[in-house]
Amino acid sequence: MGKILHVDLDAFFVSVEQVLNPALRDRPVVVGGEPSLRGVVASASYEARTYGLHAGMPLAQAQRLCPDAIFLKGSFPRYQEASERFMGILSDFTPDLEPAGIDEAYLDLTGFESLYGPAAETALRIKRRIKDEIGLTASIGISSSKVVAKVASGVAKPDGLLEVAPGEERLFLAPLPIAKLPCVGPKTEKVLRGMGVTTIGQLASLPPSLLKASIGLLGEVIHGYANGVDERKVEPTAAAKSISRETTFAQDTLDYPFLRGTLYYLSERVGAELRRDGKRARCVTVKLRYADFHTITRRRTLREATNADQAIFDVGLERLERLLGYRRQRVRLIGIVVSGLVNDGRQLSLLDSSTQGGECLNRVIDSIRAKYGFTAIQRGRTLVLNNFFPREKGEYLLPTPALSR
Ligand SMILES: [Mg+2]
């Protein structure tokens, strides 16, 4: 039985501000910007939350609900620094550490207890070090799977510790509201409520086929989660400097929909690897090799680092179109490289709920592909590849070995 910890810092951005400026302590504080600006709450202190403020709420509404709140623009470099110290502390306990955002991480302590004592004691030591060295509080969930550990840390907040014993996972989840389950966003919650489902226990006992019919692919994943079933492993981060995927074509081509479809597929592969490694990329490079072996690359630096398939593809496509306009000759190889990797810390302007929904969708797609193969889910754009590449075990067989991953 696995022993997984989910460690999550409490009200992270706001808490960092409160450590730096003691005058902010025990006050309703909001990080996100001036309420006169359009924008949303990125982080609210627990004092502000008692007024109903929460992340994702428009700033203007937050000010109406809590006129005494102190609004701060926030400073991403400060949060990045605190995050690095946080991850540094965690890495002292185990190398099996997977950052899952700027302020949270999973640790795998399976087989650890005979050497270092019960996981709950280790968790208390982790909490103490975070408090002593960074001044922040963390909440920790312990369970046999990532999803239950994450829900448990959420229930334990703030400054809590909750261990769900093996075999007790379903019992623990059952009475909780569905919104506590990862990947159940406001839209999904509304659909489920329409079906009369308000608790995770009710969700767990629905037939999976019904969920799939009403919610789609996400239905299958959240049904598993509701039952405490989560095959995802803790994946330690790789220190890769860049991630690339490329393929040589059997025949040189200038078929635009085909090149575009291939680029999308390659973008999805690098996007999946970025997310798996807990990274985002600042640079996207497209590489073309022409029939005469002349090779050109075009790179663009993004304003914000990303790990979203669509964002990588959009930049790649724009580069591809430039390259094709520059030199109209048949192409024998296309590749995409993402570089300028940073740890997967969410940036302030990315904190609106629509972006988070996209991330959740990407994660769901990753988990389904881990189970059923890469081609189990396809975006419309890559379906064109069915006409060109053979498939085996849920993967396209592309001519370059790097693509078989
Ligand atoms: Mg947090």
Range name among 140-149, 180-189, 279-288, 347-356 with the lowest pLDDT average: 347-356
Residue entry with tokens 């090799």? 289
What pLDDT is recorded for position 351? 41
Q: What percent of the chain has pLDDT over 90?
A: 53
List helix spans (H) across 216-292. 217-226, 256-277
Q: Does domain 4-11+84-165 have CATH number 3.30.70.270?
A: yes
Task: Find the 154 Cα to ligand 1 centroid distance in Å.
Answer: 9
Residues facing 306 on adjacent strands: 281
Tell me: pLDDT of 252 over 90: yes
Task: Find the 360 Cα to ligand 1 centroid distance in Å.
Answer: 16
Retrieve residue 358's tokens: 């996209």
**Which of the listed ranges 5-14, 290-299, 353-362 does the model predict with the highest average pLDDT?**
5-14
Tell me: pLDDT of 352 over 60: no
Q: Which residues are catalytic?
A: 104
What span, in angstroms and rounded, lies between the C-alpha atoms of 31 and 56?
A: 11
Average pLDDT of the chain, as a whole number: 86
What pLDDT is recorded for position 241? 63
**Which of the listed ranges 236-245, 294-303, 371-380 does the model predict with the highest average pLDDT?**
294-303
Mean pLDDT of the region 203-226:
90
Task: Find the 221 Cα to ligand 1 centroid distance in Å.
Answer: 23
Mean pLDDT of the region 384-402:
63
CATH architecture of 12-76: 3-Layer(aba) Sandwich (3.40)
pLDDT range class, residue 359, cuts 50, 70, 90: low
Chain segment 97-148, per-residue pLDDT in tens: 888 888 999 999 998 887 778 999 999 999 999 999 999 999 999 999 999 9
Mean pLDDT of the region 2-23:
96
What pLDDT is recorded for position 395? 67
What span, in angstroms and rounded, lies between the C-alpha atoms of 363 and 360?
A: 5
Tell me: pLDDT of 349 over 70: no
What pLDDT is recorded for position 15? 97
Mean pLDDT of the region 153-161:
96
Task: Find the 102 Cα to ligand 1 centroid distance in Å.
Answer: 8
Instruction: Tell me the CA distances in angstroms from 402 to 14, 193, 251, one per residue in order.
Output: 43, 44, 19
User: Structure pTM?
Assistant: 0.64
What pLDDT is recorded for position 354? 40
Tell me: pLDDT of 365 over 80: no
What pLDDT is recorded for position 259? 95
Task: Find the 10 Cα to ligand 1 centroid distance in Å.
Answer: 5
What pLDDT is recorded for position 353? 38
What pLDDT is recorded for position 95? 72
What pLDDT is recorded for position 163? 97
What pLDDT is recorded for position 313? 95
Tell me: pLDDT of 46 over 80: yes
What span, in angstroms and rounded, lies between the C-alpha atoms of 186 and 268?
A: 26
Helix and strand totals (H; E) in the chain: 15, 14
Nearest residue to 176 via CA among 145, 151, 143 = 151
Task: Find the 157 Cα to ligand 1 centroid distance in Å.
Answer: 9
Tell me: pLDDT of 404 over 70: no
Contact status, residue 6 vs residue 152, Cβ threshold 8 Å: yes
What pLDDT is recorded for position 49? 96
Chain segment 51-107, per-residue pLDDT in tens: 999 988 999 999 999 999 999 998 888 888 898 889 888 877 887 888 888 899 999
Supply the CATH classification number for the domain 171-226: 1.10.150.20
What pLDDT is recorded for position 80? 82
Supply the CATH classification number for the domain 242-404: 3.30.1490.100
Which distant-in-sequence residues (6+ apart) come within 8 Å of 233 by Cβ?
108
What span, in angstroms and rounded, lies between the C-alpha atoms of 174 and 205?
A: 10
What pLDDT is recorded for position 258? 93
Domain spans in the chain, listed from the N-terminal domain onward: 4-11+84-165, 12-76, 171-226, 242-404
**HSE of 19 in the Cβ direction (CA atoms, 13 Å)?**
18
What pLDDT is recorded for position 358? 55
Q: Cis peptide before 158, with omega less than 30 degrees from 0?
A: yes
Chain segment 289-320, per-residue pLDDT in tens: 999 888 888 888 888 889 999 999 999 999 99
Contact status, residue 341 vs residue 280, Cβ threshold 8 Å: yes
